[in-house]
């Protein structure tokens, strides 16, 4: 909504190209309201008779798909990092709440059902963190070409699993906080915000189903022929 430049994938004579379009006359944006926040700037963009100089071509002409795909692994890795970090924050808030909230004369943490919920949430967070660090290690020891060849599937599966975990954690956290979990102020504000916004990471950069399918297809592709 607010940007001065637009990275645009468009059809060209012999395929698909990516160009950089500067905001100018004929470029119109209108805000799209989302469950996240207007500050995200999500917008409908319309181009009316807009001319773009040849030097604004990104990559090679008619090879735009390669340009778009080039950053997917890093984008998805970044999104997985963010959602895993946020789930850890939500678990921390739940631990504090369960120790401070007194119900029937005792802290919530003394209720076995609450400890089971927390155990489930912590297990999701720690397993995703370990997987993230494993992939980070591989990325640091591979060339860009090796990353592109070998890590697309694992990163896709990680992001898919991390956002599924976020779904479980958001649900459990809201139940733990009760009425506080749906308020936008006080101790429940972080849980409310997370429950309202975690789905963005489950959709952007490739939905859970698409990334899960990518991971399986890449695994099958690399299986030894003798095993098939």
Kindly give, in sequence order, each residue whose CB lies less than 8 Å from that of residue 18, ignoring residues fewer than 6 positions away.
7, 8, 9, 10, 57, 58, 59, 64, 67, 68
Q: Check residue 39 and give its pLDDT.
A: 81
pLDDT in tens, 165-185: 999 999 999 999 999 999 999
Q: Check residue 166 and give its pLDDT.
A: 98
pLDDT at 90 over 70: yes
Rounded average pLDDT over 61-86: 93
Q: Check residue 40 and give its pLDDT.
A: 83
pLDDT at 12 over 90: no
pLDDT at 49 over 70: yes
CA distance 31 to 12: 28
CA distance 76 to 181: 28
CA distance 155 to 161: 10
Q: Check residue 223 and give its pLDDT.
A: 87
pLDDT in tens, 188-215: 999 999 999 999 999 999 999 999 999 9
Q: Check residue 137 and give its pLDDT.
A: 98
pLDDT at 228 over 80: no
pLDDT at 80 over 80: yes
pLDDT averaged over the chain? 94
Rounded to 5°, the CA angle 58-146-18 comes to 15
Q: Check residue 16 and give its pLDDT.
A: 92
Rounded average pLDDT over 23-35: 93
Verdict on whether the full-model pTM lies above 0.75: yes
What domains lie within the chain, and their CATH numbers? Answer: 5-66 (no CATH), 71-227 (1.20.140.10)
Q: Check residue 217 and give its pLDDT.
A: 94
Rounded average pLDDT over 24-29: 96
pLDDT in tens, 111-161: 999 999 999 999 999 999 999 999 999 999 999 999 999 999 999 999 999
Q: Return the structure tokens found at 147.
A: 């990353």
């Amino acid at each position: 909504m607010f940007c001065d430049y637009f990275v645009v994938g468009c059809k060209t004579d012999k395929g698909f190209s990516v160009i950089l379009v500067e905001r100018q006359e004929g470029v119109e944006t209108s805000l799209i309201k989302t469950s996240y926040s207007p500050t995200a700037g999500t917008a409908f963009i319309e181009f009316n008779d807009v001319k773009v100089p040849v030097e604004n071509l990104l990559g090679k002409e008619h090879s735009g798909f390669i340009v778009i795909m080039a950053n997917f692994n890093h984008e998805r890795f970044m999104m997985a990092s963010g959602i895993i970090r946020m789930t850890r924050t939500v678990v921390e808030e739940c631990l504090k709440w369960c120790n401070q909230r007194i119900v029937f004369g005792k802290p919530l943490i003394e209720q076995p059902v609450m400890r089971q919920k927390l155990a489930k949430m912590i297990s999701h967070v720690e397993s995703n963190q370990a997987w993230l660090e494993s992939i980070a290690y591989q990325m640091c020891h591979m060339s860009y070409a090796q990353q592109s060849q070998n890590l697309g599937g694992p990163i896709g599966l990680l992001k898919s699993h991390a956002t599924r975990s976020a779904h479980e954690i958001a649900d459990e956290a809201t139940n733990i906080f009760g009425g506080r979990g749906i308020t936008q102020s006080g101790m429940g504000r972080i849980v409310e915000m997370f429950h309202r916004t975690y789905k963005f990471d489950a959709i952007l950069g490739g939905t859970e189903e698409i990334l899960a399918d990518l991971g399986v297809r890449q695994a099958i592709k690399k299986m030894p022929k003798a095993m098939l």
